[in-house]
Amino acid sequence: MDYENNEVEDAVRIESNNAIGTLRINGLFDYSSDRTIIDAFEKLRIWTAREITPRIVIQVIQTPGIGPAKVQRIIDVLTPLIQNSQDTVLVHQLDQVLVRIHGFENSVTEQRVTNLPVMLAKDETTVADIFSDMRQPGLLNAFRSAAVEKLSDLTPEKLVLVLRGRSIGIKRRDQILEILDDYAQRALLLTSPKIAATPVTVIAPLLTTTHRELSEEIERRNGIVYTTTCSDFLTSARYSVLRVLIHRQSTRDQNSVGQENLYGGLPTWIQAISRFLEADFGLSREQTMGELQAVSDQALIENINTYHALQQGKTFDLNAFEKTLLPNRAVSFRQGMIEGQSTTDIAKQLGLSRNRGYQSMAANDVAFSRYWQKNQLTLHLLLATKCESFNISEHYTPRLAKVVQKSLKDEDAVADLWFS
């Protein structure tokens, strides 16, 4: 039987309980008004009511574009199925689904909405500073539409408006609350005079993980190491750093990096950071080594801990760049830069003219050079190889080695290791 155009009320009246469990998703929901919901289920390869589980429905309601109104629509559709079925297994399963949905919906408690604005009343951090760095224009617009430019502008009423915004689904709502919780935790930490006044040694290359940020930091500080108070550092820290520090404070995990994770020990870290700054920024090795060697082992290890947490398991991996490319570009990158095939052979395989093949390879060279610099791959490779010899031409290809050389401000800084 085709339920394609039937209303839910008609569908649930069928006499066969087994048939209720096999109702197709695109029959339960209206194809014109519920297209986002249908697509979310089908993307997970869920076609019938019987296949809906608590785990599946949570994935569905976290899909971008599914906000509170669509979540309520899912509830409205599933409820009659439970009420009209005599299939106890199906009833129990869908009942658990609704329990999970309501559990997610109730995470925005009245107490949380009331308390967060109070805790953030003195926080002058702008929402643009938080969300622009995260490349989340939808979140930024939700705050601006509620007339919130700074965290101190929040009131319970405005926070509700933000969380109920048109572009805010379950996943984004939870993300907003997680971010606000972190800033509220920072506000709590700063109320402790002991914590606020604690001296903090900052090694800029380990706490600023993009080329642009580090360049700005070096210019502002005229150096790479500085000492400040916990209060000043937490107040100025970008959200990515703040989140890591808050987590470490809550778990008291201050020295989680063991010697086996230090890539040859602290001297290797000092050498790697120094060569990286020389190669990518043209700084003097004497200056950077001098600054780093003046830092205590304890402060260096604390910075390394934070660096590890910020990297979230990232290593020197060229596959990560390959995944950012369109299919044909990815093929030409792998075959030309990693495997060393000729441009002519690659062009033939891709059905391109020789000239188009050269253009594709040239575009990859430019993109990879930017990627290398932006993601600080010089430092990643120095640490991964423990500052030991690693001839890029032998491990990859001469072409890749040349692109890396062009990416560096001072290739001589690593020439003895990589380009011999």
Q: What is the pLDDT along the chain (420 residues), one digit of tens a residue?
A: 444 444 444 443 433 444 555 688 888 888 788 888 888 898 888 888 888 887 788 788 777 777 767 888 888 888 887 777 777 777 777 777 777 776 655 555 567 788 889 899 999 989 888 876 666 677 888 898 899 999 999 999 999 888 877 777 767 777 888 889 889 988 888 888 888 888 999 999 998 878 888 998 899 888 999 999 988 988 888 888 888 888 766 554 444 554 445 556 899 999 999 999 999 999 999 999 999 999 999 999 989 988 888 887 677 788 889 988 888 899 999 999 999 999 899 999 888 898 988 998 999 999 999 999 988 999 999 999 999 999 999 999 999 999 999 999 999 999 999 997
The structure tokens 């790697």 sit at 272
The structure tokens 């040859």 sit at 264
Tell me, what's the pLDDT at 103? 65
Measured from the Cβ of residue 223, the count of other Cβ atoms closer than 10 Å reads: 14
Tell me, what's the pLDDT at 171? 72
Concatenated DSSP letters of 17-62: HHHHHT-BHHHHS-TTTSHHHHHHHHHTT--BGGG--HHHHHHHHT
Instruction: Report pTM.
Output: 0.68
CA 126 centroid distance within chain? 20
Cross-strand partners of 225:
203
Phi, psi of 48 (to 5 degrees): -130, 165
Tell me, what's the pLDDT at 11? 40
Tell me, what's the pLDDT at 4? 44
First to last CA, the chain: 72
Alpha carbons 331 and 350: distance in angstroms, whole number: 8
Q: Which two tokens stand for residue 252?
A: 């008291």
The domain limits of the chain are 8-105, 110-190, 193-311, 319-418
Closest CA to 169 of 57, 38, 70, 42: 70
Alpha carbons 58 and 54: distance in angstroms, whole number: 6
Residue 117 near residue 154, CB atoms below 8 Å: yes
Tell me, what's the pLDDT at 149? 94
